[in-house]
Amino acid sequence: MSSELLNLFFTSFLETLVMVGISSGVGALMGIPLGVMLNITDEHGILPHPVFNRVMGLLVNAVRSTPFIILLVAVIPFTRFITGTSIGTGAAVVPLTIAATPFIARLVESALREVDTGLIEAAQAMGATDGQIIRKILLPEAFPGIIAGLTITVVSLVGYSAMAGAIGGGGLGDLGIRYGYQRFLPEVMAAVVLILIAFVQIVQSLGDRLVRHVSHRGRILQVKT
C-alpha cells in the first residue's frame, strides 16, 4: 500500500472521529434533556403532560423511523443553511446529529423508566422538588443505562458516518466508495471494513467497562449509606 494511500486512510479516520465525536456530543447535549422530558411528562411521570409527551414522541419517532440515507438527502437544505455546503465532514455532522438526538432521547427515556418508583415516591414524601428528584434520583440511578445507551449511539453513528460517504461526507466510508468500489481496489474496501470493525469493538469495550465501573461504584455508595 502506497504512502499516499496510507495518508488517505489516516486523514479519513480522523474525519470519521470528528464526525462521530461531534455528532454524538451534540446529540447527547440535546438528546439527554429530551429523554428526561419524555420521561417526566409521561402519564406516570413526575410532571405528567400527555399532549406535550405525545407530540414530542411523534416527532422523535418520525426521525427515528426515517432511514438514514433518506435523512441525509432530506436535510440537505438545512445542512447548507448551517454549514454553507452539503458535502464534506462538517456537512455530514448535521444529519448525524439529527439522527443521534432522538435515538439518544429514547434510550435515556428507557433508562429512566428502570429507576425504582419507590425511590421517587420516598423523595416526594420528604418534600423533594421535581428538580431535585431529577438531579439526585432519576439521573444518578439511570446513569449506567444512559452510558450504555450513549455507547450504542456511538456505535450506530460509526455505521452512519460510513453511509454518509455515499454522498461525499468524507471519512472512511467515502474512502471505501471512491477507492474500493469506484477504482476497483478490493483491498482498500477490506481495510476500511477492518478498521471500522476494530473501532466499533474498542468503543463498545470502553463503554461496557465504564458501565461496569459506574454500576460497581453505585453499589459501593449504596452499601456505605
74-85 tens-digit pLDDT: 999 999 999 988
HSE-up of residue 13 (Cα within 13 Å, Cβ side): 16
Give the Cα separation of 80 and 150 in Å (integer).
27
Residue 216's pLDDT is 60
Of 75, 40, 70, 73, nearest to 56 by C-alpha is: 40
Mark residue 37 as left, alpha or beta (left: phi above 0; alpha: psi -120 to 50; beta: remaining).
alpha
Cβ-contact 78, 99 below 8 angstroms: no
What are the backbone angles phi and psi of residue 33, rounded to the nearest 5°? -60, -35
Angle at 50 (CA atoms; ends 49, 52), nearest 5 degrees: 70
pTM surpassing 0.85? yes
Residue ranges of the chain with per-residue pLDDT less than 70:
1-2, 216-225
CA distance 57 to 166: 30
Residue-wise pLDDT for 169-212, tens only, equals: 788 888 888 887 777 788 888 898 999 999 999 999 999 999 98
DSSP assignment letter at 65: T
Per DSSP, the chain holds a count of helices (H) and strands (E) of 10, 0
